[in-house]
Structure 1
Amino acid sequence: MQIRPVPYDHPDAVKLNDQVQLEYAERYGDDGDMTPLDAPMFTPPRGLYLLAYDERERPVATGGWRRQDTSEEGYTDGDAELKRMYVVREARGLGLARRILALLEEDAREAGRTRMVLETGTMQPEAVALYLSSGYTPAPAKFGLYREYDTSLCYVKPLHH
């Protein structure tokens, strides 16, 4: 598997983003994650977007981070927000999400971010297990578009230099 940076609006990234939105819709019975995202948010040094490709050059996993600072949505200065962590069904269990997560954390740390934050949901137990086993803890206060929802779960991890 090869993991490489791509623009958020790269055709392969769009393809996997469409797939993850369908999975969110299935799991939550809604239209997916409506958080407004666009390519400049993931352009270094403000963020990074990664895709993993299999040996046949098929995109099989994705993840990104974007800069966040103090806002009405509950973020604080120095935050890096994890977005669109996703692995296609046939590539799950290979450790791709964990590898992408580690690369994103390292990049955010090098960009001067001090805390990785993420929002997931109660219908994504695999994601919760990954984050808890990777050193994330429940956030002291919820943040993000869905912070008022009972199904929203927010986690944080300090990014020490």
Structure 2
Amino acid sequence: MTFTLSVRRTTTTDPLARPLLDELAHEYTTRYGTADDLSRYPTEEFAPPHGTFLLLLEQGRPVAGGAYRRYDEHTAELKRIWTHSAHRRRGLARRVLTVLEREAAARGYTRVYLTTGPRQPEARGLYLATGYRPLFDVSADLESLGPLPFEKFLENPKP
């Protein structure tokens, strides 16, 4: 059975976002020993006009989410892209990316930047499959590199 998905623009403090962010924190802690990155930026950085935080909802429940914040005048930095473990392998993270990219382009950003960890091959695969260019040596020992940066240039929508 397939359900209709909806997008909810909200904040990282929305109680609806808590289960997703808690699971993301658990995943970071399991893979890296810490989830410090989740508290690195204030909620306001993921709010309009320079950012956004969104949830992908199915039957009113969050199944995926993501955000961007201003990195520089022309660049949005993607953060918090996550799919609930019970809903993976359905293309939901790709849908979140698409919405975030469109919104960033509509707000005038021409480039998207992000980093992912070396112990997240699923994320690395997603970004490579969706046109992101690695800003690191893909043949290097990824563990020795730390965060893995990617970029993608956006087309701004026509008026």
User: Structure 1 length normalisation: TM-score?
Assistant: 0.83
Gaps of 5+ in 1: 70-76, 142-148
Runs of 4+ in 1 over 2 A off after TM superposition: none
Pick one of 14, 17, 21 that aligns with 1:13: 17
Trace 1:76-155 onto structure 2 (pairs within 5 A): 77-139=73-135, 150-155=145-150
Q: Is the 8 A contact 1:60 1:88 kept in 2?
A: yes
Q: Distance in 1 between matches of 2:29 and 2:85?
A: 16
Q: Distance in 1 between matches of 2:65 and 2:14?
A: 12
* Sequence identity percentage: 40
Q: Secondary structure at the match of 1:50?
A: strand
Q: Judging by fraction of residues, say which structure has more helix.
A: 2
User: Cα offset for 1:140?
Assistant: 6.4
Match of 2:140 in 1: none
Q: Secondary structure at the match of 2:104?
A: helix
Pick one of 24, 38, 43 that aligns with 1:39: 43
Q: Is the 8 A contact 1:8 1:38 kept in 2?
A: no
Q: Distance in 2 between matches of 1:140 and 1:115?
A: 17
Match of 1:157 in 2: 152
Query: Which is worse superposed, 1-10 or 78-87?
Result: 1-10
Q: Secondary structure at the match of 1:67?
A: strand
Amino acid at match of 1:116: V
What RMSD over aligned residues (CA atoms) do the two structures have, in Å?
1.7
Q: Once the two structures are superposed, what CA deviation does each residue of 1:56-100 show, in whole Å capped at 9, x if it has no partner? A: x2212110111112xxxxxxx411000000001110011111111
User: Cα offset for 1:139?
Assistant: 2.1
Match of 2:62 in 1: 59
User: Cα offset for 1:15?
Assistant: 2.9
User: Cα offset for 1:108?
Assistant: 0.5
Q: Secondary structure at the match of 1:68?
A: strand
Q: Is the 8 A contact 1:51 1:59 kept in 2?
A: yes
Q: Distance in 2 between matches of 1:37 and 1:94?
A: 29
Q: Distance in 1 between matches of 2:109 and 2:136?
A: 18
Amino acid at match of 2:71: Q
Query: Which is worse superposed, 44-53 or 33-42?
Result: 33-42
User: Structure 2 length normalisation: TM-score?
Assistant: 0.84
Gaps of 5+ in 2: 138-143
Instruction: Give the aligned length.
Output: 145
Amino acid at match of 1:150: L
Q: Is the 8 A contact 2:136 2:148 kept in 1?
A: no
Q: Secondary structure at the match of 1:15?
A: helix
User: Cα offset for 1:156?
Assistant: 0.3
